[in-house]
């Protein structure tokens, strides 16, 4: 085994693991809340407020997909609302757009009157723990045509992807480094076998 390869792998294993450990902790803590459907802290609703003359684009009703999101973003920026747009609900009869916007720890719902040009804004504080859950679920597969429309959330997606790649590397490099320690090989084999049996046992139980 090359000493240089071993040293380089060991250093990358250590320093990349340290750098991405906060991101791993975010996913670990948030999956605990997801698994147990429990989030500490009460939701604190904010006072609703009205915003007049928001300047709605005349063709907003005809837009769809990402074009509609970009047009709504421009309206929201003018009234000082930022965040990730989850979806846009168009109530045709009421000439109303309902837009939920999320920032980790805070949720905002904006109702935009297409005929009246009046926006009604409702905010509620969901807390830091719910914010971790939002980060955990954010890069998900739903509504991919309009998701990641807020720059901080796009940056978070890049770090989430990088965390997965680093976890792959740490797992593989950990096995490589373990093979270099002859005194630990027997214990390592026992633990790998026990982990594999546990994993496939759980899969079998879920499938049956």
- Predicted local confidence at residue 208, as pLDDT: 66
Which is higher by pLDDT, 50 or 96? 96
Q: What would the mean pLDDT of 104-122 be, rounded to a whole number?
A: 91
Q: What is the pLDDT of residues 132-145, one digit of tens each?
A: 888 888 877 777 77
18, 19, 21, 27 alpha-carbon torsion, rounded to 10° = -160
Give the rounded percent of residues in the chain with a pLDDT score beyond 70.
97
pLDDT tops 70 at residue 25: yes
Give the rounded percent of residues in the chain with a pLDDT score beyond 90.
34
Pick from 63, 78, 56, 79: nearest CA to 146: 63
pLDDT tops 70 at residue 43: no
- Predicted local confidence at residue 32, as pLDDT: 82
Tokens for 22, please give them: 């906060």
Q: What would the mean pLDDT of 53-79 be, rounded to a whole number?
A: 88
- Predicted local confidence at residue 42, as pLDDT: 55
Domains of the chain by residue range? 3-38+158-207, 44-126
pLDDT tops 60 at residue 83: yes
Mean pLDDT, the chain, as a whole number? Answer: 86
pLDDT tops 90 at residue 109: yes
- Predicted local confidence at residue 1, as pLDDT: 57
Separation of alpha carbons 53 and 56, rounded Å: 8
- Predicted local confidence at residue 121, as pLDDT: 92
| Residues linked to residue 204 through DSSP beta bridges, in sequence order | none
Q: Under a CB-based contact definition with an 8 Å cutoff, are residues 105 and 130 in contact?
A: yes
């Amino acid at each position: 085994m090359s000493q240089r390869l071993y040293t380089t792998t060991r250093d990358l294993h250590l320093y990349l693991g340290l750098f991405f450990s906060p991101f791993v902790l975010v996913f670990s803590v948030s999956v605990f809340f997801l698994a147990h459907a429990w989030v500490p802290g009460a939701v604190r609703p904010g006072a609703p407020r009205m915003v007049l003359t928001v300047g709605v684009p005349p063709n907003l009703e005809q837009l769809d997909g990402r074009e509609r999101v970009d047009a709504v973003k421009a309206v929201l920026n003018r009234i000082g609302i930022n965040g990730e747009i989850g979806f846009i609900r168009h109530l045709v009869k009421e000439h109303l757009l309902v837009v939920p916007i999320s920032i980790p720890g805070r949720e905002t719902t904006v109702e935009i009157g297409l005929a009246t040009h009046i926006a009604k804004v409702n905010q509620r504080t969901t807390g830091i723990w719910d914010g971790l859950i939002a980060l955990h679920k954010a890069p998900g597969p739903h509504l991919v045509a309009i998701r990641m429309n807020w720059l901080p959330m796009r940056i978070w997606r890049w770090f989430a992807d990088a965390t997965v790649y680093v976890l792959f590397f740490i797992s593989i490099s950990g096995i490589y480094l373990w093979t270099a320690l002859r005194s630990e090989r027997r214990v390592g084999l026992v633990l790998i076998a026990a982990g594999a049996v546990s994993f496939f046992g759980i899969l079998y139980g879920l499938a049956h």
